Amino acid sequence: MDVDVIVVGAGPTGLMLACELALAGVRTRILERRTEAQRDSRALSLHPRSVELMDQRGLLDRFLRVGRTVPGWHFAGLPTHLDFSRLDSRHGYTLFLAQARTEALLQERAHELGVEISRGHETVGVRQDSAGVAVEVRGQGNRTETLRARYAVGCDGGRSVVRRAAGIDFPGTDETLTGVLGDFAVMDPQPGALDDARARGLIIAPLEEGLTRIVYLDPERMRVPSLESVTLEEFRTSLIRIVGSDYGIAEPRWLSRFGNATRLAASYRSGRVLLAGDAAHIHFPAAGQGLNTGLQDAMNLGWKLAAAINNWAPPGMLDSYDAERRPVGQSVTENTEIQTLLVELTLVPRYERPGAALRGLLDRLLGMPEVNRRLADQISALGTAYPPTVPDADPLVGRRMPDVGLKAVDSEATRVYELLHQGRFVLLSPAGDQGPKAAVDSGYADRVTAVSVDTYDEHAELDGVREVLVRPDGHVAWANRTGDADERGDQRARALTAWAGAPT
Asked if residue 193 has pLDDT above 80, the reply is: no
Contact at 8 Å (CB) between 252 and 183?
yes
Of 52, 38, 45, 41, which is closest to residue 286 (Cα–Cα)? 45
Of 439, 450, 443, 445, which is closest to residue 408 (Cα–Cα)? 450
Tell me what the mean pLDDT of segment 253-270 comes to: 98
Give the DSSP per-residue string, 263-302: EE-S-SEETTEEE-GGGTEE---GGG-HHHHHHHHHHHHH
Q: What is the mean pLDDT of the chain?
A: 95
Q: Are residues 190 and 318 in the same domain?
A: no
Q: Are residues 484 and 425 in the same domain?
A: yes
Dihedral pair phi/psi, residue 128, rounded to 5°: -135, 155
Determine the pLDDT at residue 156: 97
Q: Are residues 164 and 208 in the same domain?
A: no
The span from the CA of 258 to the CA of 228, in Å, is 10
What number of CA atoms fall less than 13 Å from residue 498's CA on the CB side? 14
Contact at 8 Å (CB) between 127 and 120?
no
Residue 261, exposed/middle/buried by CB under 10 A (0-12, 13-18, 19+)? middle
Amino acid at 336: T
Asked if residue 485 has pLDDT above 90, the reply is: no
Query: How many domains is the chain built from?
Result: 3
In-domain check, residue 388: no
The span from the CA of 29 to the CA of 301, in Å, is 16
Q: Are residues 250 and 291 in the same domain?
A: no
Q: Model's pTM, two decimal places? A: 0.97
Give the range of the structural domain holding residue 187, as residue numbers without chain letter. Answer: 178-259
In-domain check, residue 385: no
Q: Are residues 454 and 426 in the same domain?
A: yes
State the pLDDT confidence band at 121, using cuts at 50, 70 and 90: very high
**Total residues found in the chain within this entry:** 504
State the pLDDT confidence band at 192, using cuts at 50, 70 and 90: confident
Determine the pLDDT at residue 236: 97
Amino acid at 464: G
Higher pLDDT, 433 or 332: 332
In-domain check, residue 288: yes
In-domain check, residue 356: yes
Taking each helix axis from N to C terminus, what angle separates 290-309 and 48-56, rounded to the nearest 10 degrees? 30
Determine the longest span between alpha carbons in the chain, in angstroms. 75
Of 450, 476, 447, 445, which is closest to residue 462 (Cα–Cα)? 476
State the pLDDT confidence band at 455, using cuts at 50, 70 and 90: confident
Q: Are residues 494 and 447 in the same domain?
A: yes
Determine the pLDDT at residue 483: 79
Q: Are residues 298 and 345 in the same domain?
A: yes
Q: Are residues 199 and 91 in the same domain?
A: no
CATH code for the domain of 425: 3.40.30.120
In-domain check, residue 387: no
Determine the pLDDT at residue 484: 85
3-state secondary structure of 331: helix
CATH code for the domain of 108: 3.50.50.60
Residues in CB range of 185: below 8 A, 6 or more apart: 209, 210, 211, 250, 251, 252, 253
Q: How far out from the chain centre does Cα 400 lie?
A: 14
State the pLDDT confidence band at 504, using cuts at 50, 70 and 90: confident
Q: Are residues 320 and 433 in the same domain?
A: no
In-domain check, residue 336: yes
8-17, 100-109, 192-201: least confidently modelled range: 192-201
3-state secondary structure of 99: helix
Determine the pLDDT at residue 432: 85
Q: Are residues 43 and 159 in the same domain?
A: yes
pLDDT digit string (tens) for 387-425? Answer: 998 888 999 999 999 999 999 998 999 999 999 999 999
Question: Measured between alpha carbons, how far is residue 420 from residues 228, 294, 445, 502 in Å?
Answer: 46, 20, 15, 21
Q: How far apart are the first and last CA of the chain?
A: 25
In-domain check, residue 390: no
Tell me what the mean pLDDT of segment 74-81 comes to: 94
Asked if residue 85 has pLDDT above 90, the reply is: yes
In-domain check, residue 332: yes
Residues in CB range of 385: below 8 A, 6 or more apart: 398, 399, 400, 475
pLDDT digit string (tens) for 334-345? Answer: 999 999 999 999
pLDDT digit string (tens) for 204-257? Answer: 989 988 999 999 999 999 999 999 999 999 999 999 999 999 999 999 999 999
Amino acid at 402: P
Q: Are residues 302 and 363 in the same domain?
A: yes
The span from the CA of 250 to the CA of 241, in Å, is 17
Q: Are residues 198 and 322 in the same domain?
A: no
